[in-house]
Structure 1
Amino acid sequence: MEPSEVIKKLLPAFERYYTVKNEDITPPFCAEAEFRSHNEQYFLVRSAHIADIDSNEFVYFASPDELTSEKLEELVNTAWNAGLAKVHPYNGHRNSDVTLLIFTKSISPETAITIKKTKLYKSYKFSFHGWSHFKLAVCNTTDMTIYTNRQGKDYAKLINKNIKSPS
């Protein structure tokens, strides 16, 4: 299956909770999805406001024909920097995660090891203003093998459910 076909098949799974964009996206990516959640806590009545809680996630989709370690590093850095540019930490900010989903025809063996070791984290004011994690999932569309870093394991389940299921 072609990587672009896999992405078209996966995007409807995101449309329920995420705002999906196919136009005006960051250059090396073919689609973006954005999730924003705002919650408030108060004591008994709304005028006794205690806290705001904001949680965000920025998802980037890429479909290179071949994934090498250099290409992976370029995509990871671009997604991480583009995602962090959208973060506005304040005392009510909880987390803003950046996710990169890559669909490719071939992956080199050393790249599979690099995927597993990829870890990016940023805290804002010692986590008092929240934090950001980087989630990574890579799908080899020729044999439907999925590689993830530790934070991206949930996306392996999502891809399995939506791509490998008959339709």
Structure 2
Amino acid sequence: MAPSDAIKQILPAFEQYYTVKKENITPPFCAEAEFRSHNEQYFLVRSAHIADIDSNEFVYFACPDELNSEKLEKLVKAAWDAGLAKVRPYNGHRNSDVSLLIFTKSINPETINAIKKTKLYKSYKFSFHGWSHFKLAVCNTSDMQVYTNRQGKDYAKLIKKNIKSSS
């Protein structure tokens, strides 16, 4: 299966809760998805406002033909930087996670360890204004193996469930 076909199959899973963009996206990626949630807490009446709670997730999709450590590092840095640029921390901000889903035809064996060891985290004002985690999932479309970092394990289930192999 071609990586671009895999992305076409996975995007409908995101369209229910995320705003999916296929045009005017950050350059190394082929699609983006954005989720924003706003919640308010108040005491008895709305005028007794206690707190705002914002939670966001920015997902980037990439489809290189082959993935090596250098290419992985460039994609991770581009996704992390683009995602953090959209974060607006304030006292009601809870979290803004950045996710990268990569679909490729081949992965170098040493890249698998780099995928598992990828860990990015940022707190804003000692977590009083929230935090950001980085989630990573890489799918080898030739054998449908999915590799993730610790934060991205949920994406392995999502990918396996939604991508049907055309072999």
TM range (shorter): over 0.9
Residue 102 of structure 1 aligns with which residue?
102
Any idea what SS the aligned residue of 2:51 has? strand
For 1:145 and 1:7, locate their aligned partners in 2 and report how far apart those are by CA, in whole Å: 15
1:2: how far off?
0.4
Instruction: Answer whether contact 2:102 2:138 (CA < 8 A) is retained.
Output: yes
Residue 120 of structure 1 aligns with which residue?
120
Residue 77 of structure 1 aligns with which residue?
77
Residue 161 of structure 2 aligns with which residue?
161
Which structure 2 segments of 5+ residues have no match?
A: none
Residue 47 of structure 2 aligns with which residue?
47
For 1:86 and 1:165, locate their aligned partners in 2 and report how far apart those are by CA, in whole Å: 34
For 1:65 and 1:4, locate their aligned partners in 2 and report how far apart those are by CA, in whole Å: 10
The TM-score with structure 1 as length reference comes to 0.98
Residue 12 of structure 2 aligns with which residue?
12
1:165: how far off?
7.6
For 1:120 and 1:44, locate their aligned partners in 2 and report how far apart those are by CA, in whole Å: 40
The TM-score with structure 2 as length reference comes to 0.98
Q: Percent identity?
A: 85
Which portions of structure 1, spanning 4 or more consecutive aligned residues, are displaced by more than 4 angstroms? Answer: none
Root-mean-square deviation (CA, aligned residues, Å) is: 1.0
Is the aligned partner of 1:29 residue 2:4? Answer: no
The aligned length equals 166
For 2:65 and 2:40, locate their aligned partners in 1 and report how far apart those are by CA, in whole Å: 44
Residue 64 of structure 2 aligns with which residue?
64
Which structure 1 segments of 5+ residues have no match?
A: none
Output one character per residue of 1:106-154: Cα deviation in whole Å (capped at 9) or x when no partner.
Answer: 0001000000000000000000000000000000000000000000000
Q: Which amino acid aligns with 2:58?
A: F
For 1:66 and 1:59, locate their aligned partners in 2 and report how far apart those are by CA, in whole Å: 20
For 2:140 and 2:33, locate their aligned partners in 1 and report how far apart those are by CA, in whole Å: 21
Output one character per residue of 1:16-43: Cα deviation in whole Å (capped at 9) or x when no partner.
Answer: 0000000000000000000000000001
1:164: how far off?
3.7
For 1:86 and 1:16, locate their aligned partners in 2 and report how far apart those are by CA, in whole Å: 21
Any idea what SS the aligned residue of 1:80 has? helix
